[in-house]
Chain A
Amino acid sequence: MTPAHVRHYAGAVILTILAVLAAVGPGAFGLSDGIVSPPYSKPAWLDSSIASKTILDVASDISSGNVGGTSGITWAYDAPSRVSIIGTITDGYLEWITPNGRYRLAEGAGELDLDARDIPFKKSLGIGPFENMARVLFPARGSYVLSLSGGGNVVMTIEGGRWGLLGTDHRGRDAAALFIRGIRISLIVGITATLIAALLGVSLGILSGYAGGFTDTVIMRSVDVLLSIPTLPILMVLSGIWGKGLWNLVVILSIFSWMGTARTVRAMTLTLRDAPWVEGLRALGAKRGYIIFRHLAPEAMPLLLANIALGVPGAILAEAGLSFLGLSDPRLPSWGRMLHEAHAYGAFTSGAWWTVLPAGIGISMICLIFMDIGRKLEERADPRLAGGAPGGIHLAFAPEPDTETSMERE
């Protein structure tokens, strides 16, 4: 593998990885879609001075002779943001032993469902209703013990400030899970919208080129009009009117992105319609449908494929843009939606870059990959473009090795 190979296949490899991720979903990595950690928890690898989620588990069974149990930790961090205790005590009490003293959290028998934010819980420990109880329960660094005397089964969850690979979003959902979910939306919307748009563009282009006359004029004028007005506002209004569902979005996007393909296909149809070899086929008695599907379509296919690949980034960006503006279904976690939520719910005032970077890089990367694929297909369809396609990164020019100067053309 030379560096050139790596560059050549990197896009395809990344795209395959993303597609597999999208197919298996975050569940395959044990990632949950629900709320897992406090809002804007940092990525776990980022800052080891912040506590990560800790669970203390105490169980004792009186019938088997145990009369209590303890579970202890050494706490070397600031007070956690949340503490909750869930479980049952059959007969006895639950104590929290801190370096500065001990608190009796519960006694008697019954179900426990305590959260350090609950006011009755605070009252029962003699803490003011607006005091931060987690700070009271974790007054200093040192060793802490959760001690259960009597029977029962108690789980104490100490929420940390860091989580997973990519931290959490404003609601405390795992950003890595959201990122993986987002791939699916981007790929589905980008590819299907472009395919539908291509279908529309090809049909209208062929119709325009073959029919000519009034039909041609109407279609081409519509192309001109649609190309010279800003489409994002229309998309916004349409998604506002038609609803924000995934397939609504796909339809709306495809309605406004067929124009380029229609133009190309029309031009191609016009050239091919009058090409001598097509005329020859006609003279041989070939029917129009046969000519179109057996000869024109294969001829036009490579360029069309390139066109589709080059159209995908536009659709992905449009989807991401609409989602970023908050005009997508809130139940569909897409990359644009992640950025929207980060922007709208204070990721900036919390400095939570991990909710911004992955989604943005994901969008950019997918767009670059599809542009790259499109350009390669384009070059294959028309080798003259190699090294000289306008725009993009494949633009390594070298001086032409012609043996004669341009003045000696005859």
Chain B
Amino acid sequence: MKPFLRRLGGCAAVMLAVLVLNFFLFRIMPGDPLTGIVDPRFSPEAKAQLAAQWGLDRPMSEQFFVYIKEMLSFRFGLSMMTGTPVWDELKNRVPNTVALLLPAMLLSAALGTALGMHAALHRGSRSEKLVMLGGAVSFSFPSFFVQLLLLMCFAYLWPIFPLRGTTSIPPPKGAAAVLDYLWHLALPLFSLVILGFGGFALYIRNMMVKALGEDYVLMARARGLPARRVIWNHAFRGILPPVLTILLLSLPGVVSGAVITETVFSMNGVGRFLLEATNSHDYPAAGAAFFLLALLTVGCNLLADVCYVLVDPRVRREGVRE
């Protein structure tokens, strides 16, 4: 339990850093937070009233305290554009982002593992070269470009998927609503999977090639165990911890990608909310969206950590992590 508690502490520290960063990010800009949104022709009284409404007239320490309270209570303060609590607008978007990212990650990990394993087990074959090439392309092409291409191919030239949105307008009712939602989700999800599998495939293939050369794999073969058992229980189980580490390290990038994906496909998620809030200088809203995205990252990080502990007996026993 001890290593796990230590990781929990680490996550809390990251979130604290995010909170502090978030607070100061919006207070280091030239002028005050209102300059961006307030018409310069406003009277000083009107400005003062607005400042009071967002608590900007109070001392910094008090502002920080109020800010932390608002963040931790998930209210996130009032939007500068609409004047309503930010959470009211955000809460409908969180499920959309999770519904996009979580399956995308799981599917790309699964596809990457399958292809990487195939490549490692068929060294020198044509299919290995194909996997390596596909992996490199998937790994190094900019996400928005690939997504734009997909959009162009499958939403314009051959319009089997919608060009934009999370649901049709107006949204259908009942079971059709679910299908409609999935239909809108399909292309973004597919794009994230083909963008995400490459790194996994290459990494798993390399790790697996190394693992298959290990003495303990040769010994597992010498014991006359079936090939499938040797490959999965001995070799693959052995590379899981580093693979999980890579997964962990890729998480922030995946969440960053949500902003772009949701923008390309005009989806109603936290990422696009952040973009809209940034564009309209709505700092409380942007801060809240950033906080949620960071929370999502840290949460997944913690989840991966739990898996890590489950997978590597050495960590379970002693808390060592290579």
Contact = CB atoms under 8 A, between A and B. Distances in A.
- A and B touching (Cβ–Cβ under 8 A): yes
Contacts, number: 158
Interface in B255-295: 255-257, 259-260, 263-264, 271, 274-275, 278-279, 281, 286-287, 289-290, 293-294
A393 interface: yes
A165 interface: no
Contacts of B297: 228-230
16 contacts: A224-B10, A224-B14, A225-B18, A231-B256, A232-B256, A233-B256, A233-B293, A237-B26, A237-B274, A242-B29, A339-B144, A349-B163, A361-B145, A363-B142, A363-B145, A397-B209
A228 B29 contact: no
A241 B290 CA distance: 14
Contacts of A225: 13-14, 17-18
A348 B152 contact: yes
B149 A229 contact: no
A228 B252 contact: yes
A79 B157 CA distance: 25
A240 B144 contact: no
Given A348-B163, A351-B157, A360-B142, 11 more contacts: A224-B14, A229-B18, A232-B257, A233-B293, A240-B279, A241-B25, A321-B260, A324-B260, A325-B260, A339-B145, A364-B140
Interface of B: 10, 13-14, 17-18, 21, 25-26, 28-29, 123-124, 132-133, 136, 139-146, 148-149, 151-152, 155-157, 163, 199, 202-203, 206, 209, 213, 215, 218, 249, 251-253, 255-257, 259-260, 263-264, 271, 274-275, 278-279, 281, 286-287, 289-290, 293-294, 297-298, 301
Contacts of B145: 339, 356, 359-361, 363-364
A327 B148 CA distance: 18
Nearest to B10: A224
Nearest to A390: B206
A353 interface: yes
Contacts of A325: 259-260, 263, 275
B241 to A, nearest CB: 15
A238 interface: yes
A390 B116 CA distance: 12
A343 B140 contact: no
A368 B198 CA distance: 14
A313 interface: yes
A286 interface: no
Contacts of A357: 149
B144 to A, nearest CB: 5
A221 B12 CA distance: 13
A321 B275 CA distance: 12
A390 B255 CA distance: 23
A240 B256 contact: no
B156 A317 contact: no
B278 A407 contact: no
What is the predominant secondary structure among interface residues of chain B facing chain A? helix
A237 B294 contact: no
Contacts of A371: 140
Interface residues of A, number: 53
A234 interface: yes
A392 interface: yes
Contact of B218 (A229, A367, A368, A407): A407
Interface in A321-336: 321, 324-327
Top 7 A-B residue pairs of the complex, sorted by shortest distance between their CB atoms: A360-B145, A232-B256, A230-B255, A393-B136, A241-B29, A240-B278, A230-B256
A391 B139 contact: yes
A236 B140 contact: no
Contacts of B271: 233
Contacts of B140: 313, 364, 367-368, 371, 392
A364 B144 CA distance: 11
B264 A343 contact: yes
A264 to B, nearest CB: 15
Given A232-B259, A326-B279, A397 B156 contact: no
A301 interface: no
Contact of B144 (A231, A324, A361, A407): A324
A168 B308 CA distance: 52
A342 interface: yes
Contacts of A395: 132, 202, 206
Contact of A327 (B14, B213, B278): B278
A395 B116 CA distance: 13
A237 B156 contact: no
B213 A238 contact: no
A406 B218 contact: yes
Contacts of B263: 324-325, 343
Contact of A351 (B21, B141, B156, B287): B156
A110 interface: no
Contacts of B29: 241-242
